[in-house]
Amino acid sequence: MNVRIIPRLDIKGPNLVKGIRFEGLRVLGKPEDFARRYYEHGADELIYMDVVASLYGRNSLLDIVERTSKEIFIPLTVGGGLRSVEDIRRVLRAGADKVSINTAALARPDLIQEASRAFGSSTIVVSIEAIRKPNGTYEAYVDYGRQSTGVDAVEWATRAAELGAGELLVTSIEREGTGKGFDLELTRKIAGSVPIPVIAAGGAGRVSHIHEAIVEGRADAVCVASLLHYHYFKDNDYDESDFQTEGNIEHLRRKGGLANVEEATLPGIKEYLLAHAIGCRWPQQACLTGAETT
Amino acid sequence: MAAAGVSYGSRNDVTERSSPSVKAAVVDYGLGNLFSVRRACEHVGMEVVVTPRKEEILGTDVVILPGVGAFGDAMATLRRLDLVEVLRDIANSDRPLIGICLGIQLLMSESCEFGVHKGLGIIEGSVVRFENPQERKRLLKVPQVQWNRIFHPNHRRQEGDPWRDTPLAGLAEGEFMYFVHSFYVRPTDPSVTLSVSRYGDVEFCSALRWRNVFACQFHPERSGSAGLLVYRNVASAVGQARGGSAA
């Protein structure tokens, strides 16, 4: 079994952003630039999450997806604001391989069944964003972590799998962007109760956290963001005028890191996992990789 | 056995982009994401038509049968579109036929996915589900969703490089490819198996070749540079075959 390392790129308008617990979004660059670098450096898949679509309607996400899918040849999952089979079709036509749905699926669970029938189970990722309650259970949230639902996250996971989800993306909202490590109990509870693969998300701040998510959390794949973004964004050269109207660029200007987050590279993560007896894909032929990265 | 129509060159021969006149048909039978297959074909210089119409399919140099989704639904759609005979004829002609993911499964005689369904019957054999694959006593998830390695099959170990002159030419043994599937093919004649892979304690056929038919369980269009090489090999072999016949 080879675990997948999946960079998650949160997108707001034309920009890659990153927040903490989905809030205080910082602009870090252009998603296509990060996508290309991650592809070249051995990312196993990519996730694009449109962080405002479910609240404010559509934007240029489809254009970004189309541009990206011409240059990267690994699976691309796209989510954020998809409400219907027709929405899903549009994103797939733009070049996504899978879609991630959360808000719309909780509002109308049959969407999972309809979508998996129309496009195949493996195309449908159900995203579950959860907050731990004082009694130790987990509640599913929608609208980018803003809206509670009263639905038990573990029960919802089981139901989503029964309805035909191909994979589950499980995010701890409290850990998201904090660098404090994954909520291993949440990951383990869900991974242990569904027959389909579970992607752990929210909290990776050290490479060792990924190891924990796999060994203790029983995750089949791991989603990372800050861990990579804050390393890779230093390499990018930007014209600040590109970002003038797009919110908080202070971080971009300073090229600073994040207190709780170490900087990692994809090859570094893979090397660490292999050294700790965790199977993962590593670049087989350096010359071949070099030849193809146009 | 050497293929009649096309020959797949060694890796050194395929660095050139193929002639843009190589036309590929991606069979569109309503399931799955065909766009990544189209992009990969275009990336290696092929001209692509994504179509369910047999007239269009028959006008191309290479036919690609992709797909994700359920076997029974796919066969029903191929029947409705009147493509079953067309695909069988192509398999028996000199024209290359490429099956990807569900496409490799559809080539077989039958599948037991949600009841027994007849397949295209181009390759004799069956399609079976992963039954509780285990690794170090840990039960693995089905579907298999991961990058997995492809290896030379045991019966071809004596041959030197069994991938020479095939779409896998130039790939190192053990290369990683992207897989998403719950079922896998079991060809009756093991000699058609071109590569094997392992999921937990199950070894399965991950690519096969019979005459001008090449099929793989993995998604070369989602497998980075290694996967693109497979498309490049196909484009190059078809381009050479055409160049040869035109001269």
Are A231 and A286 within 8 A, CB to CB? no
What's the gap between Cα A9 and its chain centre? 6
**Interface touch B31/A120, C-beta < 8 Å:** yes
Split into its structural domains, chain A has a count of 1
Q: Check residue B12 and give its pLDDT.
A: 44
User: Mapping DSSP to helix (H, G, I), strand (E, B) and coil, where does residue A266 land?
Assistant: helix
pLDDT of B207 strictly over 50: yes
- In chain B, which residues have their Cβ closer than 8 Å to the Cβ of A119? 31-33, 68-69
Phi, psi of A160 (to 5 degrees): -60, -40
Residue B4 confidence (pLDDT): 47
Strand partners, A52: none
The answer, yes or no, to whether residue B76 has pLDDT greater than 70, is yes
Q: Which residues of chain A neighbour B138 with C-beta distances below 8 Å?
A: 1
Domain that holds residue A31: 4-292
Q: What is the pLDDT of residue B139?
A: 87
What are B14's two structure tokens? 């395929």
Cβ–Cβ contacts within 10 Å for residue B59, how many? Answer: 12
> Tens digit of pLDDT for each residue in A139-173?
999 988 889 999 999 999 999 999 999 999 999 99
Tens-digit pLDDT profile for residues B170-200: 999 999 999 999 999 999 999 999 999 999 9
Give the pLDDT score at B15.
44
CATH number of residue A175's parent domain: 3.20.20.70
- Which domains does chain B carry? 14-246 (3.40.50.880)
> Percent of chain B having pLDDT more than 90?
72
Counting as low any pLDDT under 70, the low residues of chain A are: 53-59, 236-256, 284-294
pLDDT given for residue A58 in this prediction = 53
Please give the backbone phi and psi of residue B130, each rounded to the nearest 5 degrees, phi first: -65, 120
Predicted confidence at residue A254, as pLDDT, reads 65
Q: Which of B16, B138, B145, B173 to mutate to test the interface with A (most CBs of A within 10 A)?
A: B145
B143 touches chain A (CB under 8 A): yes
Give the up-direction half-sphere exposure of residue B88: CA atoms within 13 A in the CB hemisphere. Answer: 13
* A-interface mutation test, from B135, B136, B141, most A Cβ less than 10 A away: B141
Q: Which of A45, A129, A176, A212 is catalytic?
A: A129
Interface of A with B (CB under 8 A): 1-4, 39, 44, 69-70, 73-75, 92-97, 119-123, 166-167, 195-197, 220-221, 280-282, 284-285, 288-289, 291-293
* Chain B residues closer than 8 Å to A292 by CB: 224-225, 228-229
pLDDT computed for residue B157 by the predictor: 78
Does ipTM surpass 0.85 in this model? yes
Contact between B34 and B66 under an 8 Å Cβ cutoff? The reply is yes
Q: What was the pLDDT predicted at A201?
A: 97
Residue A237: how many other CB atoms lie within 10 Å: 6
